[in-house]
Structure 1
Amino acid sequence: MSLDNRPVYTGGCQCGAVRFRVEGALGDASVCHCRMCQKASGNFYLPLVSVRGAKLDWTRGAPRRFRSSNAAWRGFCADCGTPLTFEAPDGIALAIAAFDHAEEIAPTVQWGIEAKLPYVDHIHELPGEDTLADTSSSSSRRSRLLPAPRPRHRTMAAGGKIMTETVRTGGCQCGAVRFRIRGALGRPSICHCRMCQKQFGSFFGALVTVPKDGVEWVREEPSYFQSSVNIDRGFCRRCGTPLTYRQPGGLEIAIGAFDDRSDLAPQIQINYAARLPWVEKIFDAPVHDDPDYYTRQESIISFQHPDHETANWPQQGLKL
């Protein structure tokens, strides 16, 4: 508490280059399912809390900002990629996972429900394993590195034979980093460890293992932050999108960064004991149902890269 008995909250990015202090009552805590928030966090949704009625100070460094639309800027740490802010004309919100005590800030409302991925309601039903996310032994991630039990895409060839479609694409918000993957993916998973929470600015990291030597970076490559002895976490330095988890045993890519995420439902939870205490109940929160919200949505022009390949980006005439 401050000297005048106002609540005080602190937080910051993974690497410590950006730290903040909030004095005063927080506003609504929410999760947003819109595709723009999925892409900004490399995840299934983005948890945010409004601080427009409180005093926000950047006590060390300040976020770099990417203009994701004509109505919003998204702030992140330029050194480690941690998602930090959502800034709109009516105020600023901070990523809940960036707070030092994120467990104190449970969401009370859902936004963008029309874009919610079909499998997110059932994530809490997945089997859980307790392992350490960042460790000197790559064996702790073995559950993620298992091959997928079936192809993620199937097409029918002549004669009815099933053929595997082996190419997937994706990338960051701004389009500077794009990837192409050939080969079967591993088992999709979510990880509740604190390090993954901070990397994604969310309640967990959502990742899928990709084939060894099967990833082609078709534009720029990710920048990396070394989060522990054997672990590097990749992100786009231009827009902050979380992209990869790299360890000696392999490479995983953020599910939210894929152009098509519809069939990448997670199959297991890692670091189950570290999950936030209310994470299984967030979809009990009411859906924001304000007609003005949908009217405003119709006026938003996205500056994020679309969910498909482009020959040139940004498009000619787009003002970023």
Structure 2
Amino acid sequence: MIPGKETDKMADLGKKPSWGRTLAIQAALCLALYAAFNIGRPQAPRDARLQSMLRRKSLDLYFLSVRGGLRSPREQAQLLHKMERAAKIYKAKFVVNIGELGEDDPLLRNATLHFPLLEIPWYTTPVSQGQVNGNFLRKIRIPHGQILDIIAVDTGPLKNLSPVEQVSKIGSNQLHWIKGTLAATNSNWRIVIGFDPLIVCGEKLVKFYEPLHHIFLEFGVNAYLSKQGCAGSYYHDEGIGYIGNAGPADEAHGAFSANGNSKIFSEMHKGFLLHRVNPLEIESFFIDSTGKVVFKSTIRQHGREAI
């Protein structure tokens, strides 16, 4: 071996790595560490609006609403998985179930058996065969020291009543309970839930079930959640947002809407609504089976609205 070359090799071995190589190694280690800490964490929604919501979620209250009813086991499981994911990401406080069978609703029963969604309360529309004791009021504290009222009413005894029937014992008792409940509360937000949409559509006209609509106006109800009816997914009138949840048993017909919301989505029963409540507004986002936002509606205080 040539002595000079051996000395050169020893010198090369003793050299320190270049600054460029050192920085490259450190950057690679940082990336690996970041990836390790984030493995298994829920990924942020792809939709830009949901990403914005995620950034400010600690300042607002979130809840879900969904149309109950019978679905195939696969559709039911997919829907509950999407709801569970949204509930975890946004720390939803409760779920509103729009079902005609009350506590016996198939979606609610499946959630009870197979999903941890029951770790948060489910408020389902009452089915009480015309008895007022099926109605209920839940008061929910939201950030900024405000109160949200969820008021459930059995609409069965009220729908399709003639003016004479409206003063009958059952109809009168129902209306008296709703009016008395709203009069006694001083909450910041008031959401009424019921199974029937309480809207009738003519050729170029939308008509409301007047006794309830009048009471809603008198006592400042902000929104009414029900199954989807002829007016579509969202209809706004005089400061009240009528929001319809589509279900598998609902008729897939066209909808008339004076405020331009006439689109009916053929697979809406596979999705659900995510609601965001803060002191100024309630935003409702319909999330489809792929996890994307299909439409958004906004109800603002003092009767101002946007969609």
TM-score band w.r.t. shorter chain:
under 0.3
Name the structure with the higher strand share: 1
TM-score normalised by the chain length of structure 2: 0.26
Name the structure with the higher helix share: 2
- Structure showing greater relative contact order (alpha-carbon pairs closer than 8 Å, 6 or more residues apart): 1
TM-score normalised by the chain length of structure 1: 0.26
Pair member with larger Rg: 2
